[in-house]
Structure 1
């Protein structure tokens, strides 16, 4: 392959250039003028096979490479942010960089001048890709996490307050129910006590009314008397060893009255009892009146309450004038306490 002959050197003439307004405001001395480059056999590699284009040394190739690297870095950073945060990738917009115009400028521009804006573009694009995507996504993720934590805390606090309120309401209801039950129990007890008291009062009143009616039907055997001996009193004066009746001491001749209406079943002398009168009531109870000085009735005679049947005396085994009264229910030989029987009839000896 033939080689070109060297070209005669051209005289050095400083180039006259118009100052560029894009990128720099004035002419830069380090940008030229440049010598005309004439390729030779030593500077041009032989072409083998298919045609190859020699690597250009202009600023456009290097700037394009730097721009591609910056775009790849920005896109890679955006992808990493999207992969880390799980959110859709953020759209990128290329900023208006000062070195963009130099990409389409003259090939005779200085490589150092093209290299500096390309690095700035790379740094700017990488910063935009990483900072914008990662920063905004991180801030959004942090804010979302914070909001979720605050929402969960508020929900848990609300649940705790609801449980506390429910427990307080349940305790208040239980306390109210217990108080109501206690009040009801106390009211029932008071009502039962009042009822019992009222029943007792009613029974007492009924008994008083009954005794009043009986008192109208019964009477004491004599008046102006003194109780000298009671039922069951022990002593040698009585043949049985104890007193079998109730003694009403009164002056001789004091009237003896029928305690209740009935029939005279005996009237006469009875040994140690002296003159005795037996009054049998309708229920079969026998009333004995002993030691009389005289008898005013006869056997078979019917008498009414308060009718005179005899007089007080001192006949039989006595120490002084009195009427000895005995009560024999059903006519049985053994008598009962006359004091209790008279009180049961509403009388108070």
Structure 2
């Protein structure tokens, strides 16, 4: 009798162990399926496909990553964004400008204020500091930092400013409502109210301010007529 009971006890123990192993096997199988599926989803590009970032420009073109967008240029003379460009990326309102046909013929004769090359002209162009296209209301003349900046024409210093955006910025009144603006100067040798002659030293070229960061040292020169921007190139000798 004892032998029979011992045999049954042994049999029951084996069956319990088998059931336990079967239950644990099911759990292990489920865990394997979960981990396997997760690995498949994470490593499969077809499931998690990384799409390239696209920038849509006003012309309907697509700018690839790393390329500068090329929005439609706002016509000279506009002070607001045209209706067809409203809300488009990279479009900014232009300052008041004088349309080319309305420019007077009494432009002042301007001497080159610093020895260097013109690297950026008047009009819409790419602005590295902002990563988009903006209206450039003057010209940039590249020159080494420390180069002397001389008065392009005689006049009176109307305003002297200093900011992170433009460093030292001078506004000089000329005749007939014209003004010259010199920006990105590292130092100046004139003060507000000074009467200056053409060729007088105004200061020195410095590193560009934040408004034109990402560009080499240069002088930013603007020509205004009654507060409206003109292309200085047409007056430079």
When the two structures are superposed, what TM-score results if normalisation uses the length of structure 2? 0.49
> Normalized per residue, which structure has more helix?
1
> Normalized per residue, which structure has more strand?
2
When the two structures are superposed, what TM-score results if normalisation uses the length of structure 1? 0.34
Q: Kindly indicate whether structure 1 or structure 2 has the higher relative contact order, using CA contacts under 8 Å at least 6 residues apart.
A: 2
